[in-house]
Structure 1
Amino acid sequence: MPFFVSFPAGLPRVRWRWRAGVAALAWLALPAWALPTFHEVRTGFRSSETLVLSREGEVVQRVRTDASVRRGQWQALADMSPALRQALVLSEDKRFYEHSGVDWAAVSAAAWGNLWNQRTRGASTLTMQLAGLLDGDASGFLRQGPGGRGVAQKLGQAVAAQVLDRRWRKDQILEAYLNLVPFRGEIVGIDALARTLFGKAPHGLDEREAAVAAALVRAPNARPALVAQRACGVLRAMRPQAGSAAARAECDALDLFTTAALQRRAWAASDGMAPHFARQFMAQQRALLAPGQPLPATLRSSLRAPLQRMAQQTLAQHLRELRGRNVEDGAVVVLDNASGEVLAWVGSSGELSQAAEVDGVLARRQPGSTLKPFLYAQAIAQRRLTAASLVHDAPAQIGTASGLYIPQNYDRQFKGWVSVRTALAASLNVPAVRTLVMVSPDAFFAQLRQLGLPLAESGGYYGYSLALGSSEVPLLHLANAYRALANGGRVSPVAYAPGAAPTFTPALDARAAFVVGDILSDPNARARTFGTDSVLATRFWSAVKTGTSKDMRDNWAVGWSARYTVGVWVGNASGASMHDVSGTSGAAPIWAAVMGWLHARTPSRAPQPPAGLVRHDVRFGPDAQGQPLESQRAEWFIDGTQQPLFAMDSGAASAYPQSAGGQNGIQARIQSPAPGTIIALDPDIPPARQRLWFEASGEGSGLRWRIDGRELGRGARWGWLPWPGRHLVELTDTRGQVLDSLRFEVRGAGVRGGA
């Protein structure tokens, strides 16, 4: 800012000089009057890191977000060690508590030394240095440049120091100085220094550490030997009663200590118990900001700190128990059913893992049998099955474009005819594949996508193995899809911060979702595979499903209670197979422990059935030995599908219950081809040998096939000589009532004809 003085002609020259001096001092004092208050400095302080807080306000993760500087959190003077305060005052400003911002005695001594060319200690006080630090964000006039401060800057700094001393208390000056002073390299402030060089908070610094910190104020980037020498002088001033021999020994040890400390970088860029969650949460919050706008110093998340800690400890403890079975990785996620808020997110087993940075909550893994609930829910919603329908758990060979698909059960055994309730709760594979044949892979794929599962390929790519979890999905999305079952088939995105109201979208029939939940909460239904007293049985209402992928690479347990959905995955981030780990020994104990902790004092009651469901007593027909296939019970049905008896016709050889109209109350359905199928005829093969086979569930003698309104075939399986064009196929009963229909297309040359 330019400064001009005009001199009236009538005034003596002495008066002109006096007025010019006053004006110059006023100009130098301008930056001082612009200095902020202590409250403004403290509230305007920006750390180089962001603190992710739990919903209770506890710090769950600290993440560095500013790569240009290393600042910690603002530290109150009461939170700094007394040794540090003593060392700083002795080193930089011995009469700090006596002067009024400027130490005139030190100024006189410095001026006298300069007059006689003697080296003396600088006269700059802590208050004057703070004025320079504060001016760094204002005009910059008082800030020290590469060549030091000029006379004008020193005079301005002196004026500013006296203004500060009148406006601020001494403890405020000392507190602000220690939080703003640069120490070494990128390190600014005592919090960053203490954590980086000494691996502790400022309140824990001892006398040696305080002496090194004070020495770095004067020479931030000096060689370790010089820093140690100056720290030795500070330490001697702090211990005037120590003898010379003891002081020498202390200084010798201080040299090694200082060298080691200056090489240490104990402060990691990220630290806490939720690193993987913090990464996703901060990315989401950053996307909400304007370009270039920094993240706030603190972010309050939806995590519950006690739950996060418990889930982390439970996962680590159980994985230690499984270490002999080649299991080292795992992940846990807990969602609030109503809001979708993430309450716990444990992405890895930490020190137990060789890939701790891999986030197991977001990693895509094969979900195994955990997709079966959605498949059966879709079949129930489409009225292809009920919870009491009989499905055949027997060896099956299903033709596909790439050959025969032969599904197997987990235990390599088959149970014969079982109800859907038993098939799902006991996690039988063959009935699930037979159900997918009814629904079709493409329709099931579309259902999974509606539930938010990010499947990478198409339904045709996965084929019938999709029923057994051949796709890859993240634990977070799988748990949120189970949360949709808890919410009557409605899905909404997960939330990382508390308070936002969820936006639900219908994705599944509410009645079917309730029936599936009722099945997965039934300990008797899962008894054939898991026994009556498995770890999956809780003392409160809960529904749960386990899953194991091919070659035991992944093990899952996902389920929900009235308030929470918990998902657990265990395995190896490398993809290595586990050894002898089942659904009840891998992820399930962790799931049960977390769910038990959540409901230690919170009840969980069974949900109320939605409209359109009826409860009806059912009986089951005899097996080959004349015994009932299953015990009589009350079962849930979508209204209109209920019936009192479920039985097999004698001598039935079909893979499905006999009946077109349905002894099981379910009308026959077209199993093959799938809706929208495109058949391309091969010109090198005689057309008469390229039959298109139509297959349906139900009794063959009672089924009729109509193509484009013309009846052409009969029976549960019928071969048709295809003809190019788009066609409508209809499955009817003997009365001509349409039971099922679909459209398909034939391309290429063909032969028109009947069976």
Structure 2
Amino acid sequence: MDPVAVASQCLRVLVLALILGAPLPRAWAQGPQAAFPPDHAAVRAAWRPSDVRLLASDGKELQRLRTDFSSRRGDWLPLADVSAALLRAVVASEDRRFYTHGGVDWLASASAAWSSAWGIGARRGASTLSMQLAAFLDPTLRRGPAGRGILQKLDQMQAAMALESRWTKSEILEAYLNLAAWRGELVGVDALSRVLFQKHASGLNLREAALAAVLLRGPNAPVPLLVQRSCALMRELGRPDACHGLRGFVQAALSRAGEARFDAPALAPHWTRLLRDVGLADARGEIHSTLDRGLQEAAVRSVRRRLGELRGTGVTDAAVVVLDNRSGAVLAYVGSSGVLSEAAQVDHARAVRQAGSTLKPFLYAMALDQQRLTAASLLDDSPVGLDGGGGLYVPDNYDHRFGGWVSARTALASSLNVPAVRTLMLVGPDALAARLSALGLPLDRGGDYYGYSLALGSADVTLLSLSNAYRALARGGDYAPVNLSARPGSEAQGGIRLYSPEAAWIVGDMLADRAARARTFGLDSPLTTRFWTAVKTGTSRDMRDNWCVGWSIDYTVGVWVGNSAGASMRDVSGVSGAGPIWHDVFDWLYRRHAPPQPARPPGVTGQAVSFAGLEPERIEYFLGDTAQARFVPPDLAADHGRPRIAEPVDGTILALDPDIPWDRQRLRLRAVDARSRSVTDARWFLDGQPYGQGPGMVPDWAPSPGTHVFELRSPQGTVLDRSRVFVRGGRFAVGEAVWDVGAGRPGGPGTGNHPDAQGKH
């Protein structure tokens, strides 16, 4: 604006001031203020949404997380992204001479001053869009509780003219629409359109634009007044027909004031919260992550689809983590199943859950490194009783069957429990607990606390920490923490050597062996992929959690399935619950190519081995000089498969249950050979007396209090195996009477108060 025009406008303000009888503001007496207005680009750059924005590796938005609750602000929108209908409605409602005045509408100001001075007509404001914007930019110009005084009004006029001298009309209108408060906590046209109207600002129609424009005049005005003003504005704009049904439209729009933003992706809320909490948001409120947008979407889809298939089994939640083996970057992170979850805000990827069988690979890797066993070593998969401090610990397999002698390869791949416990007896619970802690798992107790149950995953872990521990195996035994601050293309992480590359490679080869896992999972299951992957499942006690974690040469993928309340699932295991999601994620990762198998370390040698018919002959892999060609179980080598007592386990302690009638309580007797097949020609003896012979001919035993010894004898009378059982007595109710079962057999000598011995009660 030229000096003549500025002088003319100043003269008009002076005249107006004289009319109103007010002195000039001090700022005007000292000349124009140099600090106002700020540059338009600076105002735009200083704008901050009320949300932190998570950006994928390609820069696209994945998630918004609200962090400022003083107001609800969206993005700064350029004028080109705002509908023409809204621009027209705002100008018509707020400042009809906007494009012709220089910041102050003198005609409207004079009319308002005249009406105010003489009390003629209703009081009217004369603030232009430029004057309102000046108040947005300068807090000293904002209306106070008692309104604006004359001096403040004149300051506002001066600021508006300064704005007009430096900003274009488009810049003024753009800034106004982005800085204005519309309704309640909604500030800015982006928040307004995406929340109240659930659409982009570029798509607002005339009716929506009219309601938005009148909200500027009274952001919290009641519905009847908003309907009246909107209808009047639409009539002024030549569309009186749009007033039909306006009340319902206004009520519906205002009812959405608390809804989520329209078209805002919500793919990674838990990862956004975690990165925000560790301070990775920049000055603009943006978090630049390594999440792959396509992979994240695929993981979310798989969770929702697979959980839908499990409806009715007690499953409501799931979590997925995908890690880059090389850099430690998180490529996908699903913390819950969203709308399917009973606790969608809980980050189940960082919730502590019982690990189940997922800890077994770390145990076997330790045993291999210590050369306590090889992948071909035979382990006895038969009942075993261990002193658990508070009683006898008798581990069982998932399918409640025992396989006799099996190789370590089969035991790990098929997730057999008893061989894992026997392996832990070689390694030691303390050593395993220390190694698991070194792998970043959140164990808060030592090995003596968990005991031998640690082999079966009695410790609590999180999916994120467990997946990263598996990444150490994928990296050849080299552990490094999850790289939260990684960026796309980050360098490979340095780590700490916890396993030898040879042991890590052999464990991976065992977990990738489809034939070795066939005993438990079959040849065709979700664990089978068309490319090389090593995978392990796990199911916690009482079916509360199930897991599927595995890796390829490039990625480690972990999946947890369960529910936030911790209730048991029904007929869901790691292979049927978490396994399909795991398979889906890996299928997406390698949808265009197949990865190679990790190269075999130089310290691993291959050797043809046989197992005396227990398992098929094959090429097996060994560390250093541990290779051998033939593996035969001790029973077969020494006595050609001498039978043994499978049940009861030697040292079993039983207690009669007073809630079950004493004559209904039974203990099963079972004898097997070295291959866990039923024995047909062995004879049972109880406390030195014959008891029965052969399968189907040995009746279940009715326990009696005391110490008893079972023996298995050959037809020639040779003792083949012996098992000692301790039975504690109990107190039973018979009719209205109560009697104690003490030492000896109930009803026999020594009871003295058995109902049958007394004849009646």
The bucket for the TM-score relative to the shorter chain is 0.7 to 0.9
Deviations 1:143-188 (A, max 9, x none): 3322222333322322322222232121111110011112233332
Match of 2:525 in 1: 534
Give how far 1:133 is off. Answer: 1.2
Which residue does the alignment assign to 2:698? Answer: none
Q: Displacement of 1:28 after TM fit?
A: 6.6
Deviation at 1:463, TM superposition (A): 1.1
Match of 2:393 in 1: 405
d(CA) in 1 for partners of 2:204, 2:55? 26
> For 1:558 and 1:303, how far apart are their aligned partners in 2?
19
The 3 A distance-change label for structure 1 pair 526 and 25 is closer
CA distance in 1, matches of 2:26, 2:436: 78
The residue number in structure 1 matching 2:319 is 331
Q: 1:600 aligns with which of 591, 615, 625?
A: 591
Q: Secondary structure at the match of 1:383?
A: coil
Give, as a single letter, the amino acid of the residue that structure 2 aligns with 1:127.
S
Change (3 A) 1:648 1:184: closer
How big is each residue's C-alpha offset from its partner over 1:359-393, in whole Å with a ceiling of 9 and x where there is no partner?
22111111211111101001111111111111111
1:386 is matched with which residue?
A: 374
2:224 corresponds to 1:225: yes
- Equivalent in the alignment of 1:261: 253
Q: Tell which deviates more after alignment, 494-503 or 89-98.
A: 494-503
- Look up the equivalent residue of 1:535 and give its one-letter code: P
1:42 is aligned to 44
The residue type paired with residue 552 of structure 2 is S
Q: Does 1:79 align with 2:67?
A: no
Which of 636, 641, 644 does residue 621 from structure 2 map onto?
636
Listed as ranges, the matches of 1:499-538 within 5 Å are 499=487, 501=491, 502-538=493-529
Alignment partner, residue 612 of structure 1 = 603
The CA deviation string for residues 612-644 of structure 1, in whole angstroms up to 9 with x for no partner, is 322222222x2xxxxx22222222211121222
The answer to whether the 8 A contact 2:335-2:347 is kept is yes
The whole-number CA distance in structure 2 between the counterparts of 1:637 and 1:604 is: 24
1:554 is aligned to 2:545: yes
Matched position secondary structure for 2:38: coil
Question: What does 1:97-136 align with in structure 2 at a 5 Å threshold?
Answer: 97-118=99-120, 119=122, 121-136=124-139
Residue 144 of structure 2 corresponds to 145
Task: Quote how far apart the aligned CAs of 1:115 are.
Answer: 4.3
Counterparts of 1:210-609 in structure 2 under 5 Å? Answer: 210-238=209-237, 240=238, 242=240, 246=241, 250=244, 253-268=245-260, 272-285=266-279, 296-499=284-487, 501=491, 502-609=493-600
Distance 1:29 1:53, change over 3 A: farther
Q: Which amino acid aligns with 2:343?
A: A
CA contact (8 A) 2:86 2:210 kept: yes
The 3 A distance-change label for structure 1 pair 514 and 143 is same
Partner deviation per Cα, 1:390-422 (whole Å, 9 max, x = no partner) = 111111112221221111111111111111111
- Structure 1 stretches of 4+ moved >6 Å: 20-23
Q: What's 2:207 paired with?
A: 208
> For residue 196 of structure 2, what is the amino acid of its counterpart?
L
- Flag structure 2 segments of 5+ consecutive residues without an equivalent: 1-16, 643-761
Separation (CA, whole Å) in 2 of partners of 1:375 and 1:328: 31
The residue number in structure 1 matching 2:156 is: 157
SS of 2:319's partner is strand
Q: In the aligned structure 2, how far is the partner of 1:29 from the partner of 1:534?
A: 82
Alpha-carbon distance in 2 for matches of 1:21, 1:426: 92
Give the conservation status (yes or no) of the 8 Å contact 2:338–2:344. Answer: yes
Cα offsets for 1:656-715 (capped at 9, x unmatched):
99xxxxxxxxxxxxxxxxxxxxxxxxxxxxxxxxxxxxxxxxxxxxxxxxxxxxxxxxxx
Checking the alignment, whether the CA contact within 8 Å between 1:29 and 1:159 is kept in structure 2 is no
Change in Cα spacing, 1:554 to 1:124, as seen in structure 2 (3 Å) is: same
Tell me whether 504-513 or 470-479 shows the greater mean CA deviation: 504-513
Taking the aligned partners of 2:23 and 2:344, their CA distance within structure 1 comes to 67
| Residues 577-614 of structure 1 deviation map (CA, whole Å, 9 limit, x = unaligned) | 22212332211111111101101113311112234322
Query: Within 2, Cα distance between the matches of 1:300 and 1:322?
Result: 35
Deviates more, 1:104-113 or 1:342-351: 104-113
TM-score (norm 1): 0.77
The aligned residue for residue 647 of structure 1 is 632
- Report the residue type matching 1:200 in the other structure: K
The amino acid that maps onto 2:179 is L
Counterpart AA for 1:191: D
Distance 2:192 2:498 in 1: 53
Which amino acid is the alignment partner of residue 560 of structure 2?
A: W
Q: Residue 64 of structure 1: which of 60, 63, 66 is its match?
A: 66
Distance in 1 (CA, whole Å) between partners of 2:431 and 2:532 is 31
SS of the aligned residue for 2:63 comes to strand
Cα gap change, 1:378 to 1:128, in 2 (>3 Å): same
Comparing 639-648 and 417-426, the one that deviates more: 639-648
TM-score, scaled relative to structure 2: 0.77
**Aligned twin of 1:694:** none
Contact 1:228 1:255 in 2 (8 A): yes
Report the CA distance between 1:25 and its aligned residue: 6.8
Q: Partner of 2:564: helix, strand, or coil?
A: coil
C-alpha separation in 2, matches of 1:328 and 1:512: 37
**Deviations for 1:728-754, whole angstroms, at most 9, x for unmatched residues?**
xxxxxxxxxxxxxxxxxxxxxxxxxxx
Give the letter aligned to residue 225 of structure 1. Answer: P
Counterpart residue type for residue 527 of structure 1: A
Secondary structure of 1:88 counterpart: helix
Tell me, in whole angstroms, the C-alpha distance in 2 between the residues paired with 1:470 and 1:28.
79
Q: Provide closer, same or farther for how the CA distance between residues 426 and 28 of structure 1 changes in structure 2, counting only shifts above 3 A.
A: same
AA matched with 1:439: V
Q: CA deviation at 1:540?
A: 1.0
In structure 2, relative to structure 1, the CA distance for the partners of 1:384 and 1:33 (3 Å cut) is: closer
Which residue in the other structure is 2:746 paired with? none
- Give, in whole Å, the separation in 2 of the partners of 1:604 and 1:559: 14
2:161, 2:29 → 1: CA distance? 16
Counterpart amino acid of residue 279 in structure 2? Q
SS of 1:344's equivalent in the other structure is strand
- The count of residues paired between Structure 1 and Structure 2 equals 616
Q: Distance in 1 between the 2:538 and 2:388 partners?
A: 25
Q: Deviations over 1:278-303 (max 9, x none)?
A: 111111126xx9xxxx8632111111
- Secondary structure at the aligned position of 1:316 is classed as helix
Distance 1:241 1:305 in 2: 44
The superposition leaves residues 459-516 of structure 1 with CA deviations (integer Å, 9 ceiling, x where unpaired) of: 1111111111111111111110111000011111112343354341222222211110
Give yes or no for contact 2:83–2:201 (8 Å, CA) kept in 1.
yes
Tell me the amino acid that sits aligned with residue 74 of structure 1.
Answer: W
8 A contact 1:53–1:300 mirrored in 2 = yes
C-alpha distance in 1 between matches for 2:620 and 2:390: 39
